[in-house]
Amino acid sequence: MYRLLIIVLSLFSLNGSLNEPMVGISGQIKRGNSTNYIIAGDCQSLIDELKTDSDWLTQLYDPIIYDPEELGGRINVYGEIFNCLNQVEGQLSDEQQSILRLTGFFLIFADGLYATEGGSTLQLVDLSKVDDPGIVRIRDQAGVPPPPGYVFVRTYASREAMPLPIRQIYEDLNVAGVTMFTRYIAVLDETKANWPERALQAQSLPRTISHELVHTYVNSNLGVEAINTLPTWYHEGIAIYFSHSGENQAIITPNFTLYTTPPPDYVQYELNFKYLEAIFGKSQLLERIRISIDQGVSSLIVEDLDITSDDQLPARALAWQAEQDQVRTLGGTIVLLIIAYLVISGQANQLRLLNPTASCEACGSIFWLWNKSKLHQHSPPLRVWLEGDFGPEYPYSIHVHQVCQDCLERSQKMKQVYESRMQKEYSDDAERAVNIYQDWLNQAPSFYDSADQNTQTFTIDNAIELFINAALGTKYSPPWHNIQSTFEFIEEDPENEQDFIVTPPTRYRLAIQRIENLHRTQLKIKGSVYKTPTEIVIVWQDVENP
């Protein structure tokens, strides 16, 4: 059912593929910063200090980190240990080899280790808040609790930009995404040469990321010890079921085993869960999935079906599909016989009763509502994309109850055009705003500390990133604002629709406010911006008490 490859130790050896120049973290805002790890002489003393935390090994496999400051500290600690072990001449112990590999993987994803400069970006994803469709389904519909901490999504601009351990996985050109352990994701986002390829990529990449995010969601809930105990059909079937994607993926498990799944198997895994939903109903299947993840037992999904081996579920799913095909064929034959009878008997006008017509709310054409054994009357209304007045690059969307098939097909293409344009605009805005906010913050008024003021301090680079994220969040709404920001701008003049990315706020007082999930009766917090000789300071005040 799947291909099995063992990642040999040489991939992570002292003089092997990890012995390349280091590159630091490159986040959503690309500035080319670089991390220099300390080279220490006594590696064992560093390891002994690491092991003073009783949870040290679990944290190496499953690093639970809640904020960028904590991430920076972990990068420094693991980077120092990795650099020390990587400089050792001679044989490492088994424990030291494991620590070298695990810290290396952490640095690859958290700090861009061995990626070519500017060739990768990092997105820190909070699974409790992200609005990815696959995560919304498993979190909010199935009720599986979100695991704590960030998931590390490392996007590479090319295969050449990847560190060798990941590049070797992507030598299989069919691989679209890689999940490693519980919370590491690597995806390829190459610049395509022509518009059709770019449009296809804009549609497929979010589904690939959604698929991998579901893997990390499940793996983090199961824990490193339980991941390998559950079969591939379970892991991949759940990822496909919730993300609605079946691209070829790869998974590296905590024992450094690589599973890559051929495309035909994905078709079978998707069919397995369609069959289970048909048997149990959607709500009961979701409940079974939730319990199976909670208890780490895949057989709970197929409980009461008298299934005792992995090959029985695919066989039953295939038999169910064959029955459905027979039913559809029989139904189609009956419809054709009725049509033939009505035509022969001169009652062809009665065909309208078999297939009622409607006016397409997108293009105005008359079409038959009955299609593929389903009456296509959309409620709630369906969002359809149409070509705009300013040309094919500027589509807009409307919500309709009745739409013809031609408009639906054109809508998919128009949506891809819109997504491609918006993603480029979003990226261009982020890059353009760096210098604007650097100049604006350098001109902030001086701040004199007062003990009774609620303040936060930031380096100039951190402040720039904070304000750019707030500007992006103010200008764009999901899914285009994909940076997890806890701040937004206070609108100074909503009627003028000020663009905070091109022009920062005119006032340093009341510049931004925290985004809080508070009741209307509770206060929000607003911030005023000042600077010290070395830092940017935000003074927080109650919004109703300037």
Q: Please tell me the predicted confidence (pLDDT) of residue 219.
A: 93
Contacts of 109 (CB under 8 A, 6+ apart): 122, 152, 154, 180, 184, 185, 186
Q: Please tell me the predicted confidence (pLDDT) of residue 476.
A: 77
What distance in Å separates the CA atoms of residue 209 and residue 448, rounded to the nearest whole number?
46
Peptide bond before residue 196 is cis, with ω within 30 degrees of 0? no
Write out the two tokens for 90. Answer: 């001679």
Q: Please tell me the predicted confidence (pLDDT) of residue 371.
A: 60
- pLDDT digits 0-9 by tens, 346-403: 655 555 555 567 788 888 888 776 665 455 567 678 888 888 877 777 888 888 888 8
Q: What residues of the chain score a pLDDT lower than 70?
A: 1-41, 193-201, 203, 246-264, 335, 338-339, 341-343, 345-356, 369-377, 379, 448-452, 477-485, 491-497, 515-524, 543-546
Q: Please tell me the predicted confidence (pLDDT) of residue 255.
A: 45
Q: Please tell me the predicted confidence (pLDDT) of residue 156.
A: 92
What distance in Å separates the CA atoms of residue 276 and residue 278, rounded to the nearest whole number?
5
Q: Please tell me the predicted confidence (pLDDT) of residue 18.
A: 36
Peptide bond before residue 264 is cis, with ω within 30 degrees of 0? no
Q: Where are the alpha helices (DSSP H) in 244-281?
A: 263-280
Strands, DSSP E only, in 349-408?
A: 357-359, 366-368, 370-371, 374-375, 382-388, 391-400
pTM here? 0.57
Strand, coil or helix: 212? helix
Q: Please tell me the predicted confidence (pLDDT) of residue 252.
A: 45
Phi-psi region of 23 (alpha: psi -120 to 50; beta: other; left: phi over 0): beta
Contacts of 386 (CB under 8 A, 6+ apart): 362, 395, 396, 397, 398, 407, 410, 411, 414
Which residue(s) pair with 155 in the sheet? 121, 187
Closest CA to 138 of 59, 219, 66: 219
Contacts of 38 (CB under 8 A, 6+ apart): 76, 79, 80, 83
Tell me the residue length of the chain.
Answer: 546
The number of helices, as runs of H, and strands, as runs of E, in the chain is: 15, 18
- pLDDT digits 0-9 by tens, 417-475: 888 888 888 888 888 889 899 999 988 998 766 656 788 888 988 999 888 888 887 78
Which residue(s) pair with 6 in the sheet? 257
Rg over CA atoms, the chain: 27
